[in-house]
């Protein structure tokens, strides 16, 4: 992939949007089979091969272009398509976060923790370095952290202290359809 040379700017905007949000839909055709038959004796693919087999990986370039072009992007995809674990990595790979952080919200603390652990494994880094998480009473982030998973409530708490969320250049509201008091 070519190095990213586009303009880096904040993607979280409180003001009205200048352009309408972009929407990417990569839902699998309902008529096609969703799962391939498994072979227990087949060698297990490594993490990179597993990532490359995810549906979201096929739209990586378009997704990054849309995120760079629009302040708001609505992404629709099936469960297990790789939205949660891959999109923060795509954003980081091209440097859209600049010198700030990519924040990814989750409605539940267990999800924030386990997804952070998975992304740390996929990036071959120790949890708390490139990838970390913040949930109530627990923070594994450091000054090195660029991809931060946190609960909706923790982002809301941060917004009370800094209404423009200046620590972030990109914020992903994952599972936004699961309405909670915080969202």
Residue with tokens 């904040």: 10
What's the pLDDT score for residue 177?
A: 74
- The answer to whether residues 140 and 128 touch, using CB atoms and an 8 Å cutoff, is yes
What's the pLDDT score for residue 106?
A: 94
What does pTM read for this prediction?
Answer: 0.74
What's the pLDDT score for residue 17?
A: 44
What's the pLDDT score for residue 7?
A: 44
CA distance linking residue 97 with residue 8, whole number of Å:
8
Q: Domain 22-26+47-173 belongs to what topology? A: Rossmann fold (3.40.50)
Cβ-proximal residues to 6 (8 Å cutoff; 6+ apart), any chain: 68
In this structure, are strands 131-135 and 22-25 parallel, antiparallel, or unpaired? unpaired
Task: For the chain, give every domain's residue range.
Answer: 22-26+47-173
Residues of the chain with pLDDT below 50 are 4-18, 30, 32-38
- The answer to whether residues 83 and 77 touch, using CB atoms and an 8 Å cutoff, is yes
């Amino acid at each position: 992939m070519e190095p990213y040379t586009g303009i880096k700017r904040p993607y979280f905007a409180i003001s009205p949007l200048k352009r309408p949000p972009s929407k990417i839909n990569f839902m699998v055709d309902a008529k096609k089979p969703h799962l391939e038959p498994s072979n227990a004796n087949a060698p297990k693919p490594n993490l990179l091969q597993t990532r490359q087999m995810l549906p979201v990986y096929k739209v990586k370039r378009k997704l990054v272009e849309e995120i760079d072009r629009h302040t708001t992007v609505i992404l629709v995809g099936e469960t297990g398509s790789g939205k949660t674990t891959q999109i923060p990595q795509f954003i980081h790979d091209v440097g859209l976060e600049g010198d700030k952080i990519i924040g990814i919200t989750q409605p539940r603390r267990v999800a924030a923790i386990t997804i952070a652990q998975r992304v740390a494994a996929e990036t071959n880094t120790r949890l708390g370095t490139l990838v970390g998480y913040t949930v109530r009473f627990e923070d594994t982030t450091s000054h090195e952290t660029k991809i931060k998973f946190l609960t909706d409530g923790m982002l809301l708490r941060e917004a009370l202290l800094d209404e423009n969320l200046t620590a972030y250049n990109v914020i992903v509201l994952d599972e936004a359809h699961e309405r909670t008091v915080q969202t």
